[in-house]
């Protein structure tokens, strides 16, 4: 489940004051009989915990050997250990994985398209530099849906990234490798990016906390754009304290959005929370799990009231079914059009088609989006948060292969509108879903 805040809310502070429970769709058969918790030592309770002890020796090599699709490139192990030993700051001792559309000095920034990288990045992206400055140690760069175009983690020449527990299910994307690296204990923190849910969906599917800040709160300098107007840099971790501490370190710096003086830093004692008046597109059992989470929120003292969700979903459809997708072609379309043989076919089709959007269509959809934004923010007036499912389902690799665009679109039902409305969001695990025979272990969140 995700909680979406007000536009002025920015990212939650390190205490997690703005976070709410959230539904994820994960929980699977383990790698070789071990759950990620068994591999990395269990969940920690704060920044110092880092979600448990790091993988060492044979355990790390076993996981990497079984999951070569997670990382695109690693740092030398001796260098990582030396940096961990010398680290200082609030994130000292925590290992950081970075999505490979974000610059890390010394690594080519491929965006999961090897031909796109002209050479190793000369410097870290500002978000990476700030986390390193707070003591985090980069361990490598991770796989993704090519050019951050997808929510399933399967659109990459480095291989589709599989779910951490049920390998026949998708990891979620586009920040796929980052999420699975943390879920398997190969990193304590991971940087993702999020335009339509790419930081929240994989966090949810992998049972992690995923924080997506208000646009501009974290610098996108050194990040390959997807839709420049709506891109955000996100963080994933195994617990809220670690994620919050990392977001606090990553936010701010040159060129970022100033923190409003009236931004709420925590929910009131009796928070007023909006929930959807209907839950379209949900798999069997998922709506029941969401309802159970809402009831727990009520029992905890929150005032929960329904709001019309259709205008939110109408805005969400504008991102890819409308003209707003033209921003994807503006970002990387010239490269995609010139290198069709180097680009994933599904990604290439999406981006090339975006280049055919007319200027008048884009103007009309931008105007339509503004009307929907005003309507939806009006519906949220007086509420402290909006609670929605992060995703309505957790597809298998085979389901995505059969219908790559349709399944991907369904996964983003409840995430696509968030950045269009300049909202912050937190995806937090909240329960499990028994998906029935043939689907493996219950999905958990």
Q: What is the pLDDT of residues 146-174, one digit of tens each?
A: 999 999 999 999 999 999 999 999 999 99
Give the pLDDT confidence score for residue 61 in this predicted structure. 65
Given pLDDT bands bounded at 50, 70 and 90, which one contains residue 63? low
Give start and end residues of each alpha helix (H) in 87-188. Answer: 126-133, 176-183
Given pLDDT bands bounded at 50, 70 and 90, which one contains residue 267? confident
> What's the chain's average pLDDT?
87
Neighbours of 280 (CB within 10 A): 13
Give the pLDDT confidence score for residue 155 in this predicted structure. 98
Mean local confidence (pLDDT), 301-315: 97
Does residue 15 surpass a pLDDT of 60? no
Given pLDDT bands bounded at 50, 70 and 90, which one contains residue 433? confident
* Per-residue pLDDT tens over the stretch 193-204: 999 999 999 999
The catalytic residue among 2, 171, 176, 198 is 198
CA–CA distance from 233 to each of 1, 132, 190, 214, 392 (Å)?
A: 19, 15, 11, 10, 23
409 is an active site residue? no
Q: What percent of the chain has pLDDT over 70?
A: 84
Give the pLDDT confidence score for residue 443 in this predicted structure. 57
* Per-residue pLDDT tens over the stretch 71-88: 999 999 999 999 999 999
Does residue 427 surpass a pLDDT of 70? yes
* Per-residue pLDDT tens over the stretch 26-44: 332 222 223 333 333 333 3
The catalytic residue among 99, 175, 176, 444 is 99
Give the pLDDT confidence score for residue 432 in this predicted structure. 79
The catalytic residue among 2, 171, 174, 409 is 174
Q: What percent of the chain has pLDDT over 90?
A: 78
178 is an active site residue? no
Mean local confidence (pLDDT), 307-316: 98
- Which is nearest to 158 in space by CA: 80, 100, 76, 201? 100
CA-to-CA distance for 69 and 76, rounded, in angstroms? Answer: 18
Given pLDDT bands bounded at 50, 70 and 90, which one contains residue 52? very low
Does residue 17 surpass a pLDDT of 50? no
Least confident of 130-134, 271-275, 433-437: 433-437
Give the pLDDT confidence score for residue 19 in this predicted structure. 30
CA–CA distance from 98 to each of 107, 169, 263, 317, 424 (Å)?
A: 11, 22, 29, 29, 21
229 is an active site residue? no
CA-to-CA distance for 305 and 441, rounded, in angstroms? Answer: 32
Give the pLDDT confidence score for residue 435 in this predicted structure. 78
Give the pLDDT confidence score for residue 40 in this predicted structure. 32
Give the pLDDT confidence score for residue 9 in this predicted structure. 41
Q: Which residues are registered as beta bridge partners of 3?
A: 387, 426
- Which is nearest to 50 in space by CA: 151, 206, 157, 187? 187
CA-to-CA distance for 90 and 246, rounded, in angstroms? Answer: 9
Neighbours of 260 (CB within 10 A): 12
Mean local confidence (pLDDT), 289-317: 96
- Which is nearest to 248 in space by CA: 80, 33, 1, 17? 17
Mean local confidence (pLDDT), 375-400: 97
CA–CA distance from 79 to each of 75, 83, 87, 141, 294 (Å)?
A: 7, 6, 12, 15, 46
Q: What is the pTM of this model?
A: 0.88
């Amino acid at each position: 489940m995700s909680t979406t805040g007000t536009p002025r809310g920015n990212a939650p502070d390190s205490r997690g004051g703005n976070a709410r429970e959230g539904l994820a769709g994960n929980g699977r058969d383990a790698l070789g009989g071990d759950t990620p918790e068994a591999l990395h030592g269990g969940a920690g309770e704060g920044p110092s915990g880092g979600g448990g002890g790091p993988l060492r020796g044979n355990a790390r090599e076993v996981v990497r050997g079984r999951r070569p699709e997670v990382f695109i490139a690693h740092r030398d192990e001796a260098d990582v250990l030396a940096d961990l030993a010398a680290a200082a700051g609030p994130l000292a001792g925590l290992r950081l994985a970075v999505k490979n559309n974000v610059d890390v000095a010394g690594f080519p920034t491929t965006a999961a398209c090897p031909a796109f990288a002209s050479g190793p990045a000369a410097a870290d992206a500002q978000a990476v530099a700030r986390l390193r400055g707070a003591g985090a140690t980069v361990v490598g760069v991770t796989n993704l849906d090519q050019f951050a175009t997808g929510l399933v983690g399967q659109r990459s020449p480095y291989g589709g990234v599989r779910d951490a527990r049920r390998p026949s299910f998708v990891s979620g994307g586009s920040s796929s490798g980052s999420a699975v690296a943390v879920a398997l204990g190969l990193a304590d923190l991971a940087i993702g990016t999020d335009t339509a849910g790419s930081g929240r969906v994989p966090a949810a599917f992998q049972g992690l906390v995923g924080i997506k800040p208000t646009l501009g709160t974290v610098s996108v300098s050194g990040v390959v754009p997807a839709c420049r107007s709506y891109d955000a840099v996100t963080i994933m971790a195994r617990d809220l304290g670690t994620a919050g501490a990392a977001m606090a370190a990553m936010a701010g710096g040159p060129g970022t959005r100033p923190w409003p003086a009236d931004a709420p830093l925590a929910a009131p004692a009796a928070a007023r929370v909006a929930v959807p008046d209907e839950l379209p597109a949900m798999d069997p059992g998922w709506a029941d799990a969401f309802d159970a989470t809402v009831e727990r929120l009520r029992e905890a003292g929150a005032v929960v009231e329904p709001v019309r969700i259709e205008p939110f979903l109408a805005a969400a459809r504008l991102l890819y079914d409308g003209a707003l997708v033209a921003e994807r072609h503006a970002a990387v379309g010239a490269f995609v059009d010139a290198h069709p043989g180097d680009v994933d076919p599904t990604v290439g089709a999406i981006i090339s088609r975006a280049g055919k959007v007319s200027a008048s269509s884009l103007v009309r959809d931008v105007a339509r989006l503004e009307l929907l934004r005003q309507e939806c923010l009006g519906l949220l007036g007086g509420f402290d948060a909006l609670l929605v499912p992060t995703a309505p389902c957790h597809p298998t690799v085979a389901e995505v292969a059969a219908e790559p665009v349709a399944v991907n679109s369904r996964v983003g039902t409840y995430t696509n509108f968030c950045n269009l409305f300049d909202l912050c969001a937190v995806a937090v695990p909240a329960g499990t879903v028994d998906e029935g025979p043939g689907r493996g272990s219950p999905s958990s969140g």
